[in-house]
Amino acid sequence: MSAKRDCTRDLFPLMIKSWRDEWGQGDFPFYWVQLADFMNEKSEPSDSSWAELREAQTMTMSRLPKTGEAVIIDIGEGKDIHPKNKVDVGRRLARWALARDYGVNVPFHSPQYKSMAKQDNKIVLTFEHIDGGWRPFDVNDPRGFSIAGDDKKFVWAKAKVLTDGTVEVSSDQIASPASVRYGWADNPVVNMFNGAGLPLTPFRTDDWPGVTINNTK
């Protein structure tokens, strides 16, 4: 395992665990805000260290108990790492505490990728936490998906929400798809929300080498 991978995947959960150990109050609830969209938009799909850092944050929820993540991939600003819209950021973060710790019946978890199935030249994705169904913002067609074959060369994809809530992704340029990514950029253009107004968590279905992970350079 490279030092770079240690930084992106291990330091954040280590920080949370060390605080819990130091303060001696057990596994107290710990919620955070995922990195916002930031820097320049790119015209074509590409690797992104910012996307990999978001992924590392998301993975922490499966590594430590009583943790949660507020996704704000739609609230950031290209020229400012700190979004000016703090109200919606706070509301999404508060949902976690209200639902998990105060017994309030409110949707709190952003939709999250669960699994994929290849069907001919398409990939069908399943998700968790689609409270109230999908509500693509601004336009009806899902935006922000890219797709690649085994050559790992991603192109923008067409996506369609199916009646069962799964999402079908394809491209005329990819005859045999191997992976799908969503919101995988520093500042992605995305529009997938659930009925509670919570944005889809950026994800990838592959574990291919990236800028900061599985990279020994």
> Taking the model in full, what pTM does it have?
0.94
Angle between helices 49-63 and 3-23 (to 10 degrees): 40
Q: What is the pLDDT of residues 38-75, one digit of tens each?
A: 999 999 999 999 999 999 999 999 999 999 999 999 99
- List the Cα angle 61/194/62 in 5-degree steps: 10
Residue at token pair 């979004």:
83
Q: What is the pLDDT of residues 169-206, one digit of tens each?
A: 999 999 999 999 999 999 999 999 999 999 999 999 99
